[in-house]
């Protein structure tokens, strides 16, 4: 048996929804337990006093990367079937900036706002309403921003393809980047720590 299980036809569309539900609940649960359901914690990231978000996300990236790499090396995952969202350089840069702005101002990213809603945070409800309104406006505006949305199409790009390095070398590079990042994050946190009182 190999993964991706859905693409190998192990289950159909209906079961895949149930699987997605279970995985989604698990994902949300651990986001909340990692503290990412708190707008205070999330915005502390931008004041450099608490880089938990950075550490959680980079840990998740490294864990998933090593897991996928070794499982596919062992032949249990067919990585060629794992979906790669295509790169549209400029629109994605613009979208990333917009999302970052919303993150700083609202205190959540889309996923964590849903997590915070589940814990009853009122600001998260408001944030989620904003997300929905944004989706609606985007949909209505799509005919006019469509050309930009599809601009600078670079296809399904991977870093190993882009910089012509063997896959494993990139894996090592990302691990080193993460470890360096964690050490650096700890240093930055100590540097910007608020004077006593709060921890």
Partner 1 sequence: MKRPFSYHPTMNQLLAGGALLLGALAVFGSPYRGPVARVNLRELARDVGVEADHVTAEQLADWILQQRADYRLLDLRDEAAWSEYHIPGAELVPMAKLIDYPLLRNETIVLYSDGGIHAAQGWFLLEAAGHKSVALLLGGLNAWKDEILFPVLAEDASAEQRAAFERARFVSEHFGGTPSVSGGTLETDRTPTPLPKTDMPVAPATPRARKRKAKEGC
Distance CA 71, CA 78 (A): 9
Considering the complex, state which of residue 121 and residue 178 has its C-beta at the smaller distance from partner 1: 178
Considering the complex, state which of residue 82 and residue 132 has its C-beta at the smaller distance from partner 1: 82
Considering the complex, state which of residue 43 and residue 62 has its C-beta at the smaller distance from partner 1: 62
Query: CB of residue 195 vs partner 1: minimum separation in angstroms?
Result: 26
Query: CB of residue 111 vs partner 1: minimum separation in angstroms?
Result: 9
Taking a C-beta distance cutoff of 8 angstroms, is the pair 112, 36 a contact?
yes
Torsion-angle region of 88 (φ positive above 0: left; ψ -120 to 50: alpha; else: beta): beta
Enumerate binding residues for partner 1 (CB under 8 A): 2, 7-9, 62, 66, 68-70, 72-73, 75, 77-81, 83, 85, 166-169, 171-172, 174-176, 178-179, 182
- Residues 6 or more apart whose CB falls under 8 angstroms from that of 134 comprise none
Query: CB of residue 173 vs partner 1: minimum separation in angstroms?
Result: 8
Kindly report each contact of residues 60-68 with a partner whose C-beta sits within 8 Å and lies 24 or more positions away, as own/partner. 61/174, 61/178, 62/174, 62/175, 62/178, 65/171, 65/174, 66/171, 66/175
Distance CA 194, CA 49 (A): 7
Considering the complex, state which of residue 3 and residue 48 has its C-beta at the smaller distance from partner 1: 3
Query: CB of residue 97 vs partner 1: minimum separation in angstroms?
Result: 19
Considering the complex, state which of residue 81 and residue 137 has its C-beta at the smaller distance from partner 1: 81
Query: CB of residue 87 vs partner 1: minimum separation in angstroms?
Result: 12
- Residues 6 or more apart whose CB falls under 8 angstroms from that of 185 comprise 51, 54, 55
């Amino acid at each position: 048996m190999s993964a991706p299980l859905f693409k190998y036809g192990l289950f159909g569309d209906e079961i895949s929804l149930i699987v997605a539900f279970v995985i989604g609940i698990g994902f949300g649960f651990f986001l909340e337990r990692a503290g990412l359901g708190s707008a205070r914690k999330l915005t502390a990231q931008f004041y450099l006093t608490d880089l938990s978000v950075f550490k959680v996300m980079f840990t998740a990236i490294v864990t998933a990367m090593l897991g996928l790499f070794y499982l596919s090396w062992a032949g249990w995952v067919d990585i060629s079937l794992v979906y790669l969202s295509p790169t549209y350089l400029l629109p994605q840069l613009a979208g990333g900036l917009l999302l970052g702005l919303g993150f700083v101002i609202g205190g959540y990213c889309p996923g964590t706002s849903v997590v915070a809603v589940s814990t009853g945070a009122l600001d998260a409800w408001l944030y989620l309403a904003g997300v929905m309104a944004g989706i609606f406006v985007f949909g209505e505006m799509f005919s006019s921003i469509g050309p930009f949305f599809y601009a600078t199409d670079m296809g399904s790009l991977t870093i190993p393809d882009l910089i012509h390095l063997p896959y494993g070398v990139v894996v090592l590079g990302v691990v080193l980047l993460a470890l360096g990042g964690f050490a650096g994050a700890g240093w930055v946190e100590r540097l910007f720590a608020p004077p006593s009182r709060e921890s």
